[in-house]
């Protein structure tokens, strides 16, 4: 128990330190709009990718439909904050986005989670495309043109706090009894079922949880970028979230955060290269995958529990 | 009724293209269980090869078609050798991400080297419209359909009759057992990529002729649709891929003809999800029983 408290205290200290450093740099004027934009994008990507990692890395269900749930959150915010232009409206829209995403995830998940592997991937991809086509054709979402001038309530502190909250929630979920049930489904669903685990229920739980975090990511994206269009939530966006998960190591939250950061840096550095940017990005991706097939960190997680066990021993 | 039959005729051309692409997906998936995301981009490169051969060398259309097939076959083998072979024993999701990387590389490499703008595909064959019993059909549509069917029959012959085809089927069933029987799986996998990519190249040249416009990103959407077609037909099954391709092509054309063109992609995915729910391994897919 005491070990847990100390480990949690270290995490809290890291989070506060991160905030203070960021705040200090902002106050010192070292962060211009461009860098802030890059950092916030990394933050939103962390939220999206940790949610997807829960589905793919921990529950072992290959979902390619993350952008669809993100679109739900983004459009909930876009529509509601234009009616209620206040921080209250923003948080309300986030809640509503999460609820709609959860309902959509249940509707999509109950039938499709019976499918396996690549079949599930293609079915979730289809479902997410259907969401996008619906948004594309609705009046309230302003069709293919998308929505503009969404009020900006998601400043970087809001995004930072949401990154911390979603990461803590997912980490706690993974380390709980529920998390172990979910991981047993990943390892061998027949064995898990034989041990009395309701595999459908836990697959769905991970899927719904992932969808809810995707909606949070979508809300923050809409409110920070202030413009959204159905084209922002296509298959390619689901894939770019998937890339973060696999690059970091599916099944490692630390890896996801690291990979989101690394890709953010690559992206920022390559901004000056124009058309060549995506060519280099693609080459980097192929080389990273060929030489690091398990992802950057595999299933390794940063943990402070061992530090406390042996006093002074360095963290792995 | 008349319109529906007319749309069926139009859908057959699009369906042939999807079917040719789907065959490549299904063969590669059957042998190494990889969704080859770069397949649609090989189709794009086939179209570009046809474009340059026709526009700058003014060769015969069939020469362009055949050289595009050879070019794409070589390209497919090279891609497999450089990008996928090192990952043969890696987690499958890693290979998938690599395939996506290859796809990005081909798309953006082409945009970078040759420009991202769309260009007009040369009209190597003059379009003529025939009217048979009130239905309009162009010679290009006939050409696409006939080429696709000839290629599919040839493929069926290669897979069923040739020694390499037999080896392909063996590797698809059980790679380790095939290896013990003296089959070199690396050769078989290269051969599979060559076959699939050649079909994609042919599809690229045909679509160029049909739609008259090509660009470096043209492979993305048809690639995904063709994969959907392969899944609908039962991935790993050759007749399934052909059937799925025609099905998706015809469905798309009909939905468009009824005036719901905004929903044509949604219709394709809804059909996909329904078919997967009723038949979880596609129309011709084999149901594998789980053993504990």
ipTM, two decimals, is 0.84
Domain ranges of chain B: 9-218
Interface of A with B in 186-245 (CB under 8 A): 190, 235-236, 239, 242-243
Running DSSP on this structure, what letter comes out for residue A213? H
Q: Point out which residues pair with B137 in neighbouring strands.
A: B130
With contact defined as beta carbons under 8 Å apart, do B37 and B226 qualify?
no
Residue pLDDT, tens place only, A57-100? 999 999 999 999 999 999 999 999 988 888 999 999 999 999 99
Residues of chain B found within 8 Å of residue A137, distances taken between Cβ atoms? 262-263
For the cut 70, the answer to whether the pLDDT of residue A315 exceeds it is: no
Residue B73's pLDDT is 96
**Residue B289's pLDDT band (boundaries 50, 70, 90)?**
low
For the cut 70, the answer to whether the pLDDT of residue A111 exceeds it is: yes
Three-class secondary structure of residue A186 per DSSP: helix
For the cut 80, the answer to whether the pLDDT of residue A311 exceeds it is: no
Cβ <8 Å between A279 and B90:
no
Residue in B105, B107, B217, B262 to test binding to A, most A beta-carbons within 10 Å: B105
Q: Could you tell me which residue, B85 or B128, shows the higher pLDDT? A: B85
Q: Which residues 6+ apart lie within 8 Å of B172 measured at CB?
A: B30, B31, B236
This prediction has a pTM of 0.88
Interface of A with B in 117-176 (CB under 8 A): 118-119, 121-123, 125-127, 129-130, 133-134, 136-137
Q: Point out which residues pair with B119 in neighbouring strands.
A: B214
- Minimal CA–CA distance to B155: which of B237, B46, B85? B237
Q: What is the nearest CA distance from B289 to chain A, expressed in angstroms? A: 13
Q: What is the nearest CA distance from A284 to chain B, expressed in angstroms? A: 8
Q: Decide the pairing of beta strands B135-138 and B129-132.
A: antiparallel
For the cut 80, the answer to whether the pLDDT of residue B133 exceeds it is: no
Q: Decide the pairing of beta strands B129-132 and B213-214.
A: unpaired
**Residue B281's pLDDT band (boundaries 50, 70, 90)?**
confident
Residue pLDDT, tens place only, B62-104? 899 999 999 999 999 999 999 999 888 888 888 888 999 999 9
Cβ <8 Å between A283 and B105:
yes
Three-class secondary structure of residue A228 per DSSP: strand
Residue B245's pLDDT is 92
Q: In this structure, what are the phi and psi dihedrals at residue A65, rounded to the nearest 5 degrees?
A: -115, 25
Residue A314's pLDDT is 42
Tokens of B273: 């999800």
Instruction: Give me chain B's average pLDDT, please.
Output: 89
Running DSSP on this structure, what letter comes out for residue A132? H
For the cut 70, the answer to whether the pLDDT of residue A169 exceeds it is: yes
């Amino acid at each position: 128990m005491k070990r847990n408290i100390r480990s949690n205290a270290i995490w809290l200290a890291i989070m506060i330190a991160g905030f203070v450093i960021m705040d200090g740099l902002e106050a010192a004027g070292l962060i211009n709009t461009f860098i802030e934009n890059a950092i916030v994008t990394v933050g939103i990507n962390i939220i999206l990718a940790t949610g997807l990692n829960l589905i793919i890395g921990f529950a072992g269900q290959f979902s390619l439909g993350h952008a669809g749930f993100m679109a739900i959150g983004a459009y909930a915010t876009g529509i509601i904050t234009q009616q209620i232009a206040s921080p209250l409206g923003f948080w309300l829209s986030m809640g509503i986005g999460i609820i709609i995403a959860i309902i959509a995830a249940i509707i999509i998940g109950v039938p499709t989670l019976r499918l396996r592997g690549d079949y599930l991937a293609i079915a979730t991809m289809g479902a997410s495309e259907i969401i996008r086509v619906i948004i594309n054709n609705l009046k309230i979402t302003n069709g293919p043109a998308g929505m503009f001038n969404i009020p900006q309530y998601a400043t970087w502190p809001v995004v930072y706090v949401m990154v911390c909250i979603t990461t803590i929630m997912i980490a706690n979920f993974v380390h709980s009894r529920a998390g172990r049930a979910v991981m047993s489904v990943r390892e061998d669903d027949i064995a898990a079922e034989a041990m009395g685990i309701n595999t459908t229920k836990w697959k769905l739980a991970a899927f719904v949880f992932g969808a809810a975090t995707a909606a949070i990511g979508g809300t923050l994206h809409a409110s920070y970028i202030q413009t959204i269009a159905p084209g922002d939530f296509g298959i390619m966006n689901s894939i770019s979230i998937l890339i973060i998960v696999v690059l970091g190591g599916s099944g490692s939250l630390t890896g996801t955060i690291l990979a989101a950061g690394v890709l953010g840096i690559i992206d920022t550095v390559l901004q000056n290269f124009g058309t060549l940017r995506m060519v280099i990005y693609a080459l980097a991706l192929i080389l990273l995958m060929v030489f690091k097939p398990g992802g950057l960190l595999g299933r390794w997680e940063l943990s402070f529990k061992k530090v406390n066990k042996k006093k002074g021993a360095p963290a792995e | 009724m008349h319109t529906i039959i007319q749309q069926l005729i139009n859908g057959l051309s699009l369906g042939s293209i999807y079917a040719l692409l789907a065959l490549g997906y299904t063969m590669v998936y059957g042998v190494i269980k990889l969704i080859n995301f770069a397949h649609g981009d090989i189709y794009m490169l086939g179209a570009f090869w046809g474009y340059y051969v026709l526009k700058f060398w003014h060769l015969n259309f069939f020469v362009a078609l055949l050289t595009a097939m050879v070019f794409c076959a070589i390209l497919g083998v090279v891609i497999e050798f450089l990008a996928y072979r090192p990952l043969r024993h890696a987690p499958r999701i890693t290979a998938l991400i690599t395939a996506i990387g290859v796809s990005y590389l081909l798309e953006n490499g082409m945009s970078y080297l040759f420009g991202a703008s769309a260009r007009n595909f040369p009209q190597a064959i003059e379009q003529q419209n025939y009217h048979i019993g009130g239905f309009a059909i162009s010679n290009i549509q006939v050409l696409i359909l006939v080429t696709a069917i000839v290629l599919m029959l040839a493929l069926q012959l290669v897979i069923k009759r040739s020694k390499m085809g037999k080896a392909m089927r063996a590797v698809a069933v059980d790679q380790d057992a095939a290896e013990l029987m003296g089959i070199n799986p690396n050769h078989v996998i290269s051969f599979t990529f060559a076959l699939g990519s050649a079909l994609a190249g042919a599809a690229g040249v045909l679509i160029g002729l049909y739609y008259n416009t090509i660009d470096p990103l043209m492979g993305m959407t048809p690639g995904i649709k063709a994969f959907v077609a392969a899944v609908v037909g039962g991935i790993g099954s050759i007749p399934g891929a052909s059937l799925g391709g025609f099905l998706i092509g015809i469905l798309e054309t009909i939905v468009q003809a009824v005036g719901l063109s905004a929903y044509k992609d949604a219709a394709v995915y809804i059909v996909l999800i329904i078919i997967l729910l009723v038949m979880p391994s596609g129309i011709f897919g084999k149901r594998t029983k789980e053993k504990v």
